[in-house]
Amino acid sequence: MKKIDILNLSKYLKRTGDNKLARVGHVNYALEEIEKIKPSGVELTAGFTSALTNVTKLDKSFIIGPSRYDVYSFQSWMVLTGAAAYVEYMGLINVSTGPMLVTKQSTNIAANDALGLGGFTNMAISNNSTLGEFDNTSTTSILDFAYINQDNGLTGVDDNYMFLILGTGTPLSTVDVEVYVDIEFAVEQGAAVEFINL
């Protein structure tokens, strides 16, 4: 019996005076609808490095000229503390056919600025203009470099190694930040995408 038939049956039973069976019909319908709901949260999993990461296929696509593209989300979170520079490996995204095209970059860097302006700074990642906390001082300064590197030259153009590169050129300084990587990328429609978090 279809779900809508269960609901209609329970309405019919209620009209005919059989309220007990009508309530059972409504409860069954509600339970079936609840089972269809998918969790909306994204689970980030630990890999080889300290970065927690995830790749998810999104329910959208687009067309450029004659080509159709599927869209994926790449997310990562990490706490970086105690070093002057970081090259953080976040995982490998293998695309079976065609390129991996980054279409949206929404990475955020949070830094403790409690003794500066107060609270935390939250800035989009941008080379030579992103704030970071220096030397565990609870004040922020501009990082010399901060960017996401998609390297497909290590083992083949279908392997996209994802790195966060961040730091200061100031001698003897350390940088302390939290990084929330949020990228959308497109691949040719139907291409297989495999995320390897090793």
Considering the domain architecture, whether residues 7 and 89 belong to the same structural domain is answered as no
| Radius of gyration, alpha carbons of the chain | 24
Closest CA to 7 of 22, 19, 15, 101: 22
pLDDT recorded at residue 114: 77
pLDDT recorded at residue 20: 47
Number of domains in the chain: 2
Considering the domain architecture, whether residues 18 and 84 belong to the same structural domain is answered as no
Considering the domain architecture, whether residues 50 and 32 belong to the same structural domain is answered as no
pLDDT recorded at residue 1: 39
Considering the domain architecture, whether residues 54 and 24 belong to the same structural domain is answered as no
Considering the domain architecture, whether residues 80 and 170 belong to the same structural domain is answered as yes
pLDDT recorded at residue 33: 55
Mean pLDDT for each consecutive 10-residue tract of the chain (198 residues)? 46 54 49 52 53 88 92 93 90 93 92 79 82 81 89 86 88 84 95 89
pLDDT recorded at residue 111: 87
* Cβ contacts of 74 within 8 Å, gap of 6 or more: 53, 54, 55, 90, 93, 162, 181, 182, 183, 184, 185, 195
Considering the domain architecture, whether residues 59 and 131 belong to the same structural domain is answered as yes
pLDDT recorded at residue 103: 93
Considering the domain architecture, whether residues 58 and 25 belong to the same structural domain is answered as no
pLDDT recorded at residue 124: 87
Considering the domain architecture, whether residues 116 and 188 belong to the same structural domain is answered as yes
Q: SS3 of 29, please? A: helix
Q: Cβ–Cβ contacts within 10 Å for residue 35, how many?
A: 8
Considering the domain architecture, whether residues 30 and 91 belong to the same structural domain is answered as no
What domain range includes position 145?
45-196
pLDDT recorded at residue 23: 45
pLDDT recorded at residue 113: 78
Considering the domain architecture, whether residues 160 and 188 belong to the same structural domain is answered as yes
φ/ψ region of 17 (left if φ > 0, alpha if ψ in -120 to 50, else beta) reads left
Considering the domain architecture, whether residues 25 and 54 belong to the same structural domain is answered as no
pLDDT recorded at residue 36: 56
pLDDT recorded at residue 164: 92
